[in-house]
Amino acid sequence: MLSVRHLTKTYPNGKKGLQDVSFTAAPGTVTAVIGPSGAGKTTLLRSLNRLITPEQGTVTLGDQELRGADAQALRQARRQIGMIFQDYNLIEPLSALENVLQGCLGQKRLLPGVLGLYTKAETSHALALLDEVGLRAYAAQKTRDLSGGQKQRVGIARALMQDPKVLLCDEPIASLDPQSTRTVMTIIADLAKARNLIVVMNLHQVGIAREFADHIVGVNAGRIVFDDNAAALTELAAAAIYEKEATALA
């Protein structure tokens, strides 16, 4: 269980990122965070693995609290949280396999990690994951030469390499065409079930959220304005989330 309680983040320029945000995400389900641009979706997601540090509240994964964790504990926690990005954030001159292998850097000791010395077991695990996302044949290709959908699948394999409990997806399909969007979303939804993953993703397509997510959290102006099953997201509720100054729904 990933549990978020009373998260508050104010940026140095005074802009409110998050205000008293609370929700929980369960294993084996996809939680979609939706809301207008600038509502705080990205801040929220990055707070979960503390790429951004909120000043108040708690993020608890199992029995571990992340917001106040020290550097050592934070790295430990991050190993259990895989992340994929809108722009994939792959190391483009490297092969797909090498990018996937980087997912296990957190588990490696400093020197082998720095030198990029991976074990046979790690390599075959990475190949198996590439197979799982349907890219086994592209292992040796530079990721620069892959299509957007393929890049995102490499990103997913990299996240899985960490053997994570949580998968954070930051606008995973915002740069993809409709066909790749469906491929990527299907892979993510299946993974959540098959591996009992806690998946939290930022989305801006309500239709996609309703189709692939189990649980939907609506954010507006740094506050939670909707928190329910995907089935409960009516047209009216969706419209309310995207209103300029949404008021909290009961």
Partner 1 sequence: MISNPELTADSLQPAKLTPTPRPRLRAKRPARALLLALVAITGYTLTTLAPHGVDLGAASLTFLRNLRLMFLQPHLGQETFAQLSQALLLTVALALLTTLIGAGLAFFLALITARNLAPRSLGDVMRSVMALIRAVPTILWVLVYATVIGLGTEAAVVGLSFHSVAYLTKAFAEAIEEVPKEKLDALRASGAGFWLTVRHAVWPLVRQRLLAWTFIRFEINFANAVAVGAAAGTGGIGYYLFMASAFYFDFQEVGLIVLMILVFAAGLEMIAVRMRKSLLTGN
Partner 2 sequence: MPNAVSVMLHHQRRVRWGSLLGVVALVLASQVVLRVNVHQALFGVVAGWAWLGAHFAPNAAALADLPEILYQLWRTVLVAIAATTVAGGVALVLGLAGALPTSHLKAVRGLVRLFASLMRNVPFVAWALILLFSFKQNDFTGFLALLLMTIGQLTRAFIETLDEVGPGPIEALTATGATYWQVIFQGVLPAVAAPMLSWLLYMIENNIRDATLVGMLTGTGIGFIFDLYFKGFRYASAGLVVLAIIAVTIGIELTSNKLRQVLNA
* Footprint on this chain of partner 1 (rule: CB under 8 A): 93-95, 97-98, 123, 127, 134, 137-142, 145-150, 177, 179-180, 183
Q: Which residues contact 89 (CB under 8 A, 6 or more apart)?
A: 155
Instruction: List phi, psi (to 5°) of 70.
Output: -80, 175
Q: Does 87 bind partner 2 (CB under 8 A)?
A: yes
Taking the complex as a whole, how short is the minimal distance between the CB of residue 134 and partner 1, in angstroms?
8
Alpha carbons 52 and 17: distance in angstroms, whole number = 11
41 binds, among partner 2, partner 1, none (CB under 5 to 8 A by kind): none
198 binds, among partner 2, partner 1, none (CB under 5 to 8 A by kind): none
Taking the complex as a whole, how short is the minimal distance between the CB of residue 171 and partner 1, in angstroms?
17
Instruction: List phi, psi (to 5°) of 48.
Output: -70, -35
For partner 2 (CB under 8 A), the number of binding residues is 36
Q: Does 140 bind partner 2 (CB under 8 A)?
A: no
Q: Which of 69, 7, 58, 66 is nearest to 33 (CA)?
A: 7
103 binds, among partner 2, partner 1, none (CB under 5 to 8 A by kind): partner 2
**Using CB atoms within 10 A of its CB, is residue 130 exposed (0-12), middle (13-18) or buried (19+)?**
buried
Q: Tell which one of 2, 4, 97, 104 touches partner 2 (CB under 8 A).
A: 104
Q: Does 76 bind partner 2 (CB under 8 A)?
A: yes
Q: Does 150 bind partner 2 (CB under 8 A)?
A: no
Q: Does 82 bind partner 2 (CB under 8 A)?
A: yes
Q: Which is nearer to partner 1, 152 or 202 (CB)?
A: 152
123 binds, among partner 2, partner 1, none (CB under 5 to 8 A by kind): partner 1
Q: How many CB atoms lie within 10 A of CB 12?
A: 5
Q: In this structure, are residues 4 and 61 in contact, taking their beta carbons and an 8 Å threshold?
A: no
Residues 164-223 that bind partner 2 (CB under 8 A): 168
Alpha carbons 217 and 224: distance in angstroms, whole number = 7
> Which of the stretches 58-66, 107-115, 123-131, 207-215 binds partner 2 when contact is defined by CB under 8 A?
107-115
Q: Which is nearer to partner 1, 156 or 219 (CB)?
A: 156
42 binds, among partner 1, partner 2, none (CB under 5 to 8 A by kind): none
Summarize as ranges the residues that interact with partner 2 (CB under 8 A).
Answer: 49, 51, 75-79, 81-83, 85, 87, 89-94, 102-108, 110, 113-116, 155, 158-159, 161-162, 168
